[in-house]
Amino acid sequence: MEAGRVLTERLLNEYIPSDSEDPRSLHTAMRYSVLAGGKRLRPILAQAAFEYCGGDMSRAEETVHRAMAAIEMVHTYSLIHDDLPCMDDDDLRRGMPTCHKKFGEATATLAGDALHVVAFELMARTGSIDVVLELARAVGTSGMLGGQMADIEAEGRAVTPGEIQEIHTRKTGALIRGSVRIGAILAGADPETLERLTAYGEKIGLAFQIIDDILDIEGDQTLLGKAVGSDSRHQKATYPAAKGLEASRREAAQLIDGALATFVEEEDNMLKWLARYIGQRER
Amino acid sequence: MEAGRVLTERLLNEYIPSDSEDPRSLHTAMRYSVLAGGKRLRPILAQAAFEYCGGDMSRAEETVHRAMAAIEMVHTYSLIHDDLPCMDDDDLRRGMPTCHKKFGEATATLAGDALHVVAFELMARTGSIDVVLELARAVGTSGMLGGQMADIEAEGRAVTPGEIQEIHTRKTGALIRGSVRIGAILAGADPETLERLTAYGEKIGLAFQIIDDILDIEGDQTLLGKAVGSDSRHQKATYPAAKGLEASRREAAQLIDGALATFVEEEDNMLKWLARYIGQRER
């Protein structure tokens, strides 16, 4: 995973315009947020799916590497906008001031928008219309943005277990599932493999957000790099609130087991490793 | 122009998800802002360029029509974000409350983001990677977003004529130029024609924003559907402020003449008509 993280950082550094290039303030804010660290889980999933499906490594630089940077940029843009005062109003992200705290709201709004554009540009530069459409589906109103909207609307009221599953599946699950699919599509995966990996992506995506909810209750603030307890302060709809902590833990574990079952009797691979990582993560 | 406007409204209506489809509040806000009227100048320019370059009209529905809707959506998203309190803080747009006034800031931010996604999705559905890249270039940091950033940073200080030209060329010119180019590219224009139309698009794009600045001083509030004098209240960098009203009028007229000269000795066409329209518009 460390190699994937280092590769992602190199790609991001390469693909975001330099902060000495005009408009400097915008590029500076973009670089600040994108290069602030993070697990780089989504691009690593895309890379792992690409490799699992036998993608052509000699062309990785023009295909999956661009997609990896695009995915992480779109993820970062969503965090920047999510942290804005009119949304979650968060001051801290990955142990550092959030983008609007550091550069002001106008610059943060535009930096998010700009990362969104660069992401689609990079995805198009893979030469595959299919992955551009896949990214749009993952982050559009039936995916991430729909989930963010439902998440805000659910604040302060009790939600049913069905609703919270739907919110999490869209808000976080869609981009994780999309990352896996994008890597597989760029590798030219056959339909059966793509379908199996889609189911894998759905399971780890939902598990990821359930565990996020759990860590917000009992995680270590220093490891997480953000304040714990923010969900309850914001009266967010969470799995533990809707189903209880124990049932949430059990469901996350079942999802990870289900994801691992995708590869039953196959030798160890990165996608299996990543599913286990998500199940055990502490940050 | 009326036919193009009606066509654009039909396309937009078709391509934005229905407000009875979840997430309803987001789709409602998207539809509200996109279907609030407007000149639909940018999509009409794309259509005119497509026709001028002999684009295949039997395939227009799958190509330039999708691009037209995409262009107008990306334009609307930029207006929604531009109107936010942290940006220009405008209450009125096309004679109606701005998106955040009507639906709140969080929904407006997400509705802008969602239109941004749908725009790229539709552009990809033309099947042409080139126009996806063209859109990204037009609205990215070297285009529209860079211009918006520079525009905000120039507030309250004197700017040079060179600076204001640069701001306007990016903020407004880049998407107008891009609209013309996208129509031409989808029609399969030869490089020489594309180059001529690019120069045409640059000229009318800059003229459009200069005239916008002039109308903000001496335009009719009812015709414009927004408050006049807002540039001066916001201490915006404008052409009249940097160069004077008379010189600004002269420069706009010269740009329109230059755009018309693109078609010297050619019979009348829609692109010529649109250049004249921009030169004479009162709203």
The pLDDT of residue A231: 86
Q: Taking residues A230-259, report their average pLDDT.
A: 93
The pLDDT of residue A224: 76
ipTM of the complex: 0.96
Residues B237, B243, B248: CA angle, nearest 5 degrees: 100
Label residue A282 by pLDDT band (50, 70, 90).
confident
The pLDDT of residue A265: 86
Q: Taking residues A250-266, report their average pLDDT.
A: 95
Label residue A130 by pLDDT band (50, 70, 90).
very high
The pLDDT of residue A28: 98
Q: What residues of A are in contact with residue B87 (Cβ under 8 Å)?
A: 106, 109
- Give every CB contact of residue B169 below 8 A, 6+ residues apart in sequence: B147, B202, B205, B206
pLDDT at A270 over 80: yes
- How many angstroms separate the CA atoms of B107 and B92, rounded? 17
Residues A138, A243, A38: CA angle, nearest 5 degrees: 45
- How many angstroms separate the CA atoms of B252 and B281, rounded? 12
- How many angstroms separate the CA atoms of B272 and B50, rounded? 14
* Least confident piece of the model among A40-44, A152-156, B130-134: A152-156
Option in A84, A86, A136 nearest B117 (CB): A136
Query: Would you call B234 an interface residue with chain A, using a CB distance cutoff of 8 Å?
Result: no
Query: Would you call A125 an interface residue with chain B, using a CB distance cutoff of 8 Å?
Result: yes
The pLDDT of residue A95: 86
* Least confident piece of the model among A82-86, A92-96, A241-245, B101-105: A92-96
The pLDDT of residue B74: 98
Which residue has 């995805």 as its token pair? Answer: A123
What is the number of H-type helices and E-type strands within chain B?
A: 16, 2
% of chain A beyond a pLDDT of 70:
100
Better-predicted residue by pLDDT, B99 or A37: B99
With a cut of 50, list the residues of chain B below it in pLDDT: none
The pLDDT of residue B138: 98
Strand positions, DSSP E, chain B: 92-93, 96-97
Option in B25, B129, B141 nearest A129 (CB): B129
Query: Would you call A18 an interface residue with chain B, using a CB distance cutoff of 8 Å?
Result: no
Q: Taking residues A202-221, report their average pLDDT.
A: 93
Option in B26, B140, B145 nearest A121 (CB): B140
Domain that holds residue B218: 2-280
Amino acid identity for residue A188 in this structure: G
| B87 with A104: Cβ contact below 8 A | no
Model confidence pLDDT, tens digit, residues B40-69: 999 999 999 999 999 999 999 999 999 999
- Give every CB contact of residue B10 below 8 A, 6+ residues apart in sequence: none
Label residue A232 by pLDDT band (50, 70, 90).
confident
The pLDDT of residue A222: 77
| A25 with B149: Cβ contact below 8 A | yes
Closest CA to A174 of A163, A182, A185: A182
DSSP A263: G
Query: Would you call A113 an interface residue with chain B, using a CB distance cutoff of 8 Å?
Result: yes
Better-predicted residue by pLDDT, A109 or A92: A109
The pLDDT of residue B231: 86
* Chain B residue at shortest CA distance from A85: B106
Query: Would you call A116 an interface residue with chain B, using a CB distance cutoff of 8 Å?
Result: yes
| B81 with A113: Cβ contact below 8 A | yes
The pLDDT of residue B29: 98
- How many angstroms separate the CA atoms of A72 and B137, rounded? 20
Q: Taking residues A122-134, report their average pLDDT.
A: 98
Query: Would you call A152 an interface residue with chain B, using a CB distance cutoff of 8 Å?
Result: yes
Work out whether strand B96-97 and strand B92-93 pair parallel, antiparallel, or are unpaired: antiparallel
Query: Would you call B19 an interface residue with chain A, using a CB distance cutoff of 8 Å?
Result: no
- How many angstroms separate the CA atoms of A202 and B279, rounded? 54
The pLDDT of residue A227: 73
CATH of the domain at A49: 1.10.600.10
The β-bridge partners of A15 are none
Option in A127, A136, A146 nearest B23 (CB): A146
Cβ atoms of residues A54 and A187 within 8 Å: yes
Q: What residues of A are in contact with residue B133 (Cβ under 8 Å)?
A: 121, 124-125
List, as one string, the DSSP characters of A11-60.
HHHHHSPPTTSSSHHHHHHHHHHHTS----HHHHHHHHHHHHTT--GGGG
Query: Would you call A158 an interface residue with chain B, using a CB distance cutoff of 8 Å?
Result: no
Query: Would you call A127 an interface residue with chain B, using a CB distance cutoff of 8 Å?
Result: yes
State the smallest CA–CA distance between residue A243 and chain B in angstroms.
23
Model confidence pLDDT, tens digit, residues A100-125: 999 999 999 999 999 999 999 999 99
Across all residues in chain A, what is the average pLDDT?
Answer: 95
| B136 with A148: Cβ contact below 8 A | no
Query: Would you call B31 an interface residue with chain A, using a CB distance cutoff of 8 Å?
Result: no
Q: Is B38 helix (H, G, I), strand (E, B) or coil?
A: coil
- Give every CB contact of residue A247 below 8 A, 6+ residues apart in sequence: none
Number of domains present in the structure of chain A? 1
Q: What residues of A are in contact with residue B141 (Cβ under 8 Å)?
A: 17, 23, 26-27, 30, 114, 117-118
